[in-house]
Amino acid sequence: MKLILLGTGSPIPNPDRAGPATLVRTNTDNILFDCGRGVVMRLAKAGLVPPLLSGVVLTHLHSDHVCDLNDVITTHWIMNPVPSTLRIIGPHGTKHFVDVTLASLSLDIGYRLTHHADLNQGPLVDVLEIDAGTSFTLGQHDIFTGATDHRPVEPSLAYRISEGAESVVIAGDGVPCASLDELVFGASAYVQTVVRPALVQQIPSARLQDILEYHSSVEQAADTARRAGVKALVLTHMVPPPAPGSEDEWRALASAFEGLVVMGDDLVTLDLDTMTVTT
């Protein structure tokens, strides 16, 4: 099983970081978690196109995590030689978001149906809204969910997927909480979006300070990883984005955790079977 960080940015535009999106590749499935800015481009760089996805799983409905779902839906539809249903799983609110996304695409869908004689229906989607503490099957995998604390964003979910002896938790945004601890416990790898409060506090923007309330610091992520006994902590969605050469500084903040700390850059890949990282 491989974890590929397709996008490691945040809402703050960055030329080198696509928006939040993580791909899990197993022997049987390609599962996309979140659909941030530029996700289809990064999928292409990883050698995939949307028709090859088993499904899309959303952690929450903040715009930075879902803004390019429209592109995944359209590209999945247009590139498929035969009608194919895109599965989309997410917390409550996902059906509404998909409905309005499809509504926003209605003119384009009409143009393409008019123009292409071999297209006789619009995009097919199958949306499942899932509760924390439950599971669902996608491809050959049972995926387990846990609530995250990203209030006032509610609900927000983390997901755990396994293949063989290895498992990975995609935690999305949020501060530490008991349900996240429970989901991460004993996993091989834990992917957490993180901020560095001391750096963010130097930026004179009240709106930016607000983000500190509902994202884990690097230290908090390291504590969660240590409590759970994971082998690897994967840092992503870093705010501010790490300055070149500052990677050791970030790792030092995670020193409470003694396992492998992976600094997220776009397309960094963690092989869960060998615990090796490639860039």
Instruction: Give me the residues that bind Zn ion (CB under 5 A), please.
Output: 62, 64, 173
Choose between 64 and 266: whose C-beta lies nearer to Zn ion.
64
Helices assigned H by DSSP within 80-141: 94-104, 106-115
Compute and round to an integer the Cα radius of gyration of the chain: 18
Concerning whether 64 is annotated as a catalytic residue, the answer is: yes
Nearest CA to 122 out of 110, 135, 131 is that of 110
Q: Select 29 or 64, whichever has its Cβ closest to Zn ion.
A: 64
- 71, containing H or E segment: helix 69-79
As measured in angstroms, the least distance from the Cβ of 106 to Zn ion is 28
Judged by CB, which is closer to Zn ion: 20, or 259? 20
Cα–Cα nearest to 131, from 159, 107, 112: 159
With beta carbons less than 8 A apart as the criterion, state whether 223 and 229 touch.
no
User: Which CB atom, from 54 or from 101, has the smaller least distance to Zn ion?
Assistant: 101
Nearest distance from C-beta of residue 60 to Zn ion, angstroms: 6
Q: Are strands 85-90 and 124-129 parallel, antiparallel or unpaired?
A: parallel
Q: Spot the catalytic one: 64, 68, 71, 173.
A: 64
Report the catalytic residues: 64
